[in-house]
Amino acid sequence: MKCPFCSHTDTQVVETRISEDGDSIRRRRQCASCQKRFTTYERSDVSFPAIVKKDGRRIEYEHTKVLASMKLALRKRPVSIEKIDGAVERIEEKLLGLGVRELPSAHIGELVMRELKKLDKVAYVRFASVYRSFEDVDEFKTLVEEVQR
């Protein structure tokens, strides 16, 4: 494994943990050159459904896009990266469990909103306000009232 800091190819596994559900392995590694530590995740390579965008284009599912959108919504919120990773894993398990070849992008957005609602209400409102493209304040107000219940 190449070090993300100095690109040296000699890294050593310092710690290995299996996830709670047993679907992935988390490894802490240390670079032999710069001594910095980093985390890698090992999981089986599976085929996710193709994502159908609103304009009809079909793209591949991207783990990094889902993770980045959740991190953006959770920016400056007190939620650990482990909880975010767990939420993305649950989303991916649901996608694989559907057993379909194609899936509308809106379905993934709804899955992300469900997970964000469990993690942090403020992040949920942030994501929903962009995702649902509210036209007026009343729609936003309705969402906030829904979260407060």
What tens digit of pLDDT does each residue of 76-122 get? Answer: 999 999 999 999 999 999 999 888 999 999 999 999 999 999 999 99
Q: Is the dihedral of CA 44, 67, 33, 31 positive or negative?
A: negative
Query: Which is higher by pLDDT, 148 or 122?
Result: 122
Q: Residue 70 pLDDT > 90, yes or no?
A: yes
Q: Could you tell me the residue ranges of all domains in the chain?
A: 1-44, 46-148
Please state the rounded mean pLDDT for residues 15-32: 90
- Using an 8 Å Cβ cutoff, are 34 and 3 in contact? yes
| Mean pLDDT, the chain, whole residue set | 90
- Higher-pLDDT residue of 111, 133: 111
Q: Is the pLDDT of residue 147 over 90?
A: no
Query: What is the pTM assigned to this prediction?
Result: 0.64
Which stretches of 19-95 are assigned E, i.e. beta strand?
Answer: 24-31, 37-43, 50-52, 58-59
pLDDT(15) > 80: yes
| Structure-token pair, residue 142 | 């309705």
Greater confidence (45 vs 58) lies with 58
Q: Does the pLDDT of residue 146 top 90, yes or no? A: no
Rounded to an integer, the average pLDDT of 19-47 is 88
The predicted pLDDT at position 59 comes to: 95
The dihedrals phi and psi of 131, each to the nearest 5 degrees, come to: -65, -45
